[in-house]
């Protein structure tokens, strides 16, 4: 089974690098205890190139292409005030010559920083939803733009609709090719999972390619049962969009929800330790919300013996660098 080509608006530097993490592996091997440490690699989607990079750039290549096909003049999306998705959407709109409206949850913070600062630099109109549900507030923004004669194109939270998720089915094809070229046996992929588009797309891609790899989603904010249900629905819709003869079920999705900590956007000791260990061992940065939590999950899975020493684990780095600068006090501990 092969994956079809889809119309793209070029935004990303692809393929992103696949790098070994030998110093992180050594650091874990030198810890007290008898846990096996697998071969560790990192898929650098923090290097997609748009607005400091991140996984949403792949999704936006397909979503912006669709917006342009439909004659849209404004991209509208939603997220948290430090949303990586919103930052990349604002940058993508600027690249495509489109306006951008971002509907952010809650109230305006005292200071702009991190992703929010970049949103403004990219020229996005920013609306804070306050106490209103941000998806409802986004629909109000879409309706208001249409009433004023604009042609808005709404992008759901995280870009996680079937078209956005399809980008990560195609990304799995990229990873499988990289591993084949280098003779790497791919056993496991670890990725942060919240709105679900990245993990759902990866599973669809792996199934379509008959790749014997297990995709582990480290839940950022949802209980396992809820996230798996979302992933099954989105994964099936994505497979159908791509014209793939696949039937997806709960068993196709591996989700770990033991690392939710204090909730979405709350950085605790586990994230702080993981971010620091990666920085000191490999000179790589993980963000406090997504990759920091996913990395903390990976470290715990290794320390509790989830993987064999002769297995290969790829940590899929989804970006998020700007958010670090909005968590300065928390990172200091």
Residue 52: both structure tokens together = 């400091």
69 token code pair: 């096909």
Catalytic, 160? Answer no
The residue from 83, 160, 194, 195 that is catalytic is 83
Return the closest-CA partner of residue 84 out of 189, 201, 194.
Answer: 194
CA distance 96 to 99: 9
Radius of gyration of the chain (CA): 19
Please check whether residue 238 is in contact with residue 166, taking contact to mean a CB–CB distance below 8 angstroms. Answer: yes
| Sequence-distant (≥ 6) Cβ neighbours of residue 262 within 8 angstroms | 268
Output the furthest CA–CA distance in the chain (Å, rounded): 65
Which residues participate in catalysis according to the annotation?
Answer: 83
């Amino acid at each position: 089974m092969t994956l079809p080509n889809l119309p793209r608006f070029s935004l990303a530097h692809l393929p992103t690098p696949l790098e070994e993490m030998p110093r992180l592996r050594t650091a874990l091997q030198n810890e007290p205890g008898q846990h096996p440490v697998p071969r560790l690699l990192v898929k650098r989607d923090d290097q997609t190139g748009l607005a400091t990079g991140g996984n949403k750039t792949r999704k936006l290549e397909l979503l912006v292409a669709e917006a342009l096909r439909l004659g849209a003049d404004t991209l509208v999306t939603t997220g948290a005030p430090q949303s990586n998705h919103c930052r990349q959407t604002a940058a993508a709109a600027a690249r495509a010559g489109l306006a951008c409206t971002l509907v952010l949850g809650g109230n305006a913070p005292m200071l702009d920083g991190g992703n929010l600062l970049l949103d403004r630099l990219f020229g996005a109109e920013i609306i804070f939803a306050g106490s209103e549900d941000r998806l409802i507030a986004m629909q109000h923004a879409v309706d208001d733009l249409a009433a004023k004669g604009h042609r808005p194109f709404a992008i759901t939270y995280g870009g996680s609709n079937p078209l956005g998720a399809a980008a990560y089915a195609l990304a799995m094809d990229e990873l499988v090719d990289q591993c084949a070229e280098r003779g790497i046996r791919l056993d496991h992929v670890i990725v942060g999972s919240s709105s679900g588009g990245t993990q759902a797309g990866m599973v669809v891609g792996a199934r379509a390619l008959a790749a014997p790899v297990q995709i582990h989603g480290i839940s950022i904010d949802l209980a396992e049962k809820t996230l798996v249900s979302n992933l099954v629905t989105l994964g099936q819709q994505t497979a159908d969009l791509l014209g793939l003869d696949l039937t997806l079920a709960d068993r196709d999705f591996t989700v770990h929800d033991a690392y939710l900590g204090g909730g979405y956007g709350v950085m605790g000791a586990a994230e702080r330790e993981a971010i620091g260990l990666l920085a000191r061992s490999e000179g790589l940065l993980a963000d406090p919300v997504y990759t920091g939590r996913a990395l903390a999950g990976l470290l715990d899975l290794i320390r509790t013996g989830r993987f064999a020493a002769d297995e290969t684990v790829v940590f899929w780095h989804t970006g998020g660098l700007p958010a670090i600068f909005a968590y300065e006090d928390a990172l200091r501990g």
